[in-house]
Structure 1
């Protein structure tokens, strides 16, 4: 019988709800912090991708998280995704989440509590009866504010089956409309998830009237396999992230789950609303915002995902692509690089190209990007789509940065100590720095430290080519560490030194976002004594 859901109405038997937690669980990954403008841009991209629910953040964690959730809630109409805020079982958590999502056209509160013996004894220091009461109270309070309430059993995969059934029953009786059973620590095997969801659907009163959800971490590399097992056992919501980012080894990857459902519909028999041709550009947008590229062999979105080097494979591909490809590159957004853009291309053609690549830009952003495009076109023989993506990401996604690189001169040569002089615009004020170093890059980074003093240490410096050829753009990744917090920055340019400076400045801006975030609310209520951030839900 189809489920009646307050946010989705009658849910078709073959429909899987995509619950994206890139902006919450994903952003908790070390170095993955986003500022408000980046979160809003990512939220819009996720909506265009077809995500049904956006877990926009953890409102109680900090004023910044609250503002992000509230701003995203303001962004979408009833045609957009459900906007969800995470909350522990403490009343102040739930009230804060309710305040953050109240302006959403389709709001949801997602509250959670640990249920495994280890978590209850060590983390919560609560008895099973106290946990059961807290489950009922927290869900009931959330239902007083929104019609759509999700409840999660943190560490559900390691919870006693009988007790898990009692907790789920309590949550349903209190008004939960979605029940999530997370594999919080990535411990479960696919058969474990199948057993858990089958058990809950068969044993818990009222189970046929709620949506069951699965949230799997990738500590054993089984997050997607566990997700598919849960779906086949009756879960109708999957919690996932773009590029699989998240706590520790990450979450189930949205793109992998979506393409598994599409490619193996013959076996799984379920479908999602993901607009799969948008997958690649959404993945690239996240990589640009966070400064973390996916590994080359990453399924679906890695640059080698549709590459064939073996002679046997190449021969098969020439005869029939189906010999070695189970999906087409175009189905997830890959296209062959276009060579039509060059120094003679006009503004209208450039705007059309941006639109084809998935960018909708305002006039000011277009002007800035077009100037940089002309500069690159003057230096390169041909301009590939990848070049345009790199430069536009640099220009458009950095418009709200507090620190901007406005000038750089480097003198270097054989038997000469390299020297760099640069200019920064910091909160609208110009600062200059000059320094020497062991090489051109070292001198540039020293000059940055002179212009913007900081104690962060350089932990990674990596260079890769955006395209081929000696005139190719370099994409540089810089990782900084300050006080145990990691941030990654990226920059691109045909000049590797300029690309390096852009990457370092990007990392500094992300470091400022980290600094601005205040500590979470300092309390440990009787209903749940736990840390502010959790990978449970």
Structure 2
């Protein structure tokens, strides 16, 4: 199937409310590598207990992610204990520990009984000079030595070139090739400071694919310019196999590519598949929000409270007739729900819907009264919930009964 034609057809089917997945499009399966417990926990002000880390890991496993980066074993003995506990309890996903390009870090990761060791070293000149203080040749030597050392343990080895997107491209390809020849099973391309655009990302992934053996390639994007999800999807479109993500876009600085957004886009926009249970996305988002102590913005894509909320009259009318008029996917598909909100921009159809849901007959006079009252309260910043709506209806009924009593 021609790529562009297939994509346009899929989008068309989604808009008219047909589940295109039933047509067998996009047999390609993309793996999901979740780093909520490592990169996500590096979010300033966040510190999870071992019990909380395990709770999130089990939820991720239940949701169907393929790999869980449980932490950085060399950080502390307590971190190593937490990772080992996760490796023991998780039954489906591969459990991963990060490790710097040192044998002691690898030893700590392997001691945590992980399935995969994720070794990394910076490859950009700015990192080599100002952070590591080493030459390109020394970086290559370390990659060869430590990757082969990690592989000698018999675990899977993932290699990352930190700050790959600011590295000299020919040198970057040479580093990856060295890692693969030393035994790396998979490689990762990190956009460490989020400086890529989709067009640049497409070029980079194609550049590397043309020069490297066909090992699984991960993509790891940060959101400094708000393009982490777009860059991740573009990388997948151009040959990457694994998306590295964090629940709710949490993480350092502006965060990482959001698991829920990447997975939804792969399924509903590209017709690709993942092993993630889509209906678990909202529940997973809420759990991580609670344990991180960081609320989910109401307008957050896919899992936000407003992601499927409608207030404007013309939107509500359309959605009540056919949800796909103003929704690109069904809220229940991602574990969320549709909300018809009453407020300044509401119309008669929203009020009628709300009254019917409360078991109240929406007479024309009542609808008119409720609509006018709601608009008056909304500009006073009053949130119109069911209790307020009941008060409005009660006031109307009381006033009406008094008129008839006279």
Asked whether the two chains share a fold, i.e. TM above 0.5, the reply is yes
Please name the residue that 1:168 is paired with.
176
C-alpha displacement of 1:201: 1.1
Q: Which has the higher strand share?
A: 1
Aligned to 2:93: 81
Secondary structure in structure 2 of the residue aligned to 1:317: helix
Q: Which residue of 2 aligns with 1:228?
A: 233
> Contact conserved, 1:136 with 1:171, CA < 8 A, in 2?
yes
Aligned counterparts, 1:45-194, within 5 A: 45-77=59-91, 80-100=92-112, 102=113, 104=114, 107-194=115-202
Separation (CA, whole Å) in 1 of partners of 2:245 and 2:106? 23
**CA distance in 1 between partners of 2:158 and 2:325 (Å):** 43
Choose the corresponding residue for 1:332, options 325, 334, 338.
334
| Partner in structure 1 of residue 307 of structure 2 | 305
Residues 500-525 of structure 1 show CA distances to partners (whole Å, capped at 9, x for unaligned) of xxxxxxxxxxxxxxxxxxxxxxxxxx
Where does 1:492-531 land on structure 2 (aligned, <5 Å)?
Answer: none
Cα distance in 2, alignment partners of residues 214 and 177 from structure 1: 15
Which residue number corresponds to residue 199 of structure 1? 207
TM-score (normalised: structure 1): 0.58
Q: CA deviation at 1:193?
A: 1.4
Taking the aligned partners of 2:265 and 2:46, their CA distance within structure 1 comes to 26
Q: Which residue of 1 aligns with 2:393?
A: none
**By how many angstroms is 1:219 displaced?**
0.2
Is residue 238 of structure 1 aligned with residue 243 of structure 2? yes
RMSD: 2.0
Displacement after TM superposition at 1:334 (Å): 2.0
Report the Cα offset of residue 336 of structure 1: 6.9
What SS does the aligned partner of 2:218 have?
strand
Q: What's the CA shift string for 1:381-403, capped at 9, x where partnerless?
A: x9xxxxxxxxxxxxxxxxxxxxx
Structure 1 residue 129: deviation in Å? 0.4
CA-to-partner distance for each residue in 1:10-66, whole Å, 9 max, x for gaps?
A: xx9711110000000000101221101111111110011111000000001122211
Q: Report the Cα offset of residue 468 of structure 1.
A: 5.5
Contact 2:309 2:338 in 1 (8 A): no
State the match for 1:366 in structure 2. none
Match of 1:318 in 2: 320
Cα distance, 1:304–1:193 mapped onto 2, change above 3 Å:
same
Given that 2:308 and 2:338 are in contact with CA atoms closer than 8 Å, whether structure 1 keeps it comes out as no
Matches of 1:64 and 1:469 in 2, distance apart? 48
- Aligned position for 1:41: 55
Deviations 1:74-127 (A, max 9, x none): 1133xx100000000011111111111x2x5xx000000000010001101100
Q: Map 1:115-514 to 2 at 5 A.
A: 115-204=123-212, 207-208=213-214, 210-265=215-270, 269-335=271-337, 469=387
User: Could you tell me which residue of structure 1 aligns to residue 347 of structure 2?
Assistant: none
Output the CA distance in 1 between the equivalents of 2:300 and 2:154: 38
Q: What is the rounded CA distance, in whole Å, between the counterparts of 1:166 and 1:222 in structure 2?
A: 27
| Contact 2:189–2:218 (8 Å) recurs in 1 | yes
Larger helix share, 1 or 2: 2
Moved over 6 A (4+): none
Secondary structure of the 1:19 match is strand
Extract unaligned runs of 5+ from structure 1: 1-11, 338-381, 383-463, 471-537
The answer on 1:21 being equivalent to 2:35 is yes
Contact 2:57–2:90, Cα closer than 8 Å, also in 1: no
- Whether the 8 Å CA contact 1:280–1:332 is kept in 2: the answer is yes
8 Å CA contact 1:329, 1:335 repeated in 2? yes
Instruction: Sort the Cα spacing of 1:155 and 1:336 in 2 relative to 1 into closer, same or farther, 3 A.
Output: closer
Please give the alpha-carbon distance, in whole angstroms, between the structure 2 residues aligned to 1:166 and 1:96: 28
Residue 270 of structure 1 deviates from its aligned partner by 2.4
SS of corresponding position for 1:186 = coil
SS of the residue corresponding to residue 24 of structure 1 reads helix
Pairs aligned (count): 322
CA contact (8 A) 1:98 1:146 kept: no
Distance 1:76 1:155 in 2: 31
Query: Does the aligned pair in 2 maintain the 1:116–1:155 contact within 8 Å?
Result: yes
Assess, with a 3 A threshold, how the Cα gap between structure 1 residues 303 and 333 changes in structure 2: closer, same or farther.
same
Matched residues in 1 for 2:31 and 2:183: separation? 19
Structure 1 residue 190 displacement after superposition: 1.0
Q: Distance in 1 between matches of 2:27 and 2:235?
A: 15
How far apart are residue 147 of structure 1 and its match? 3.3
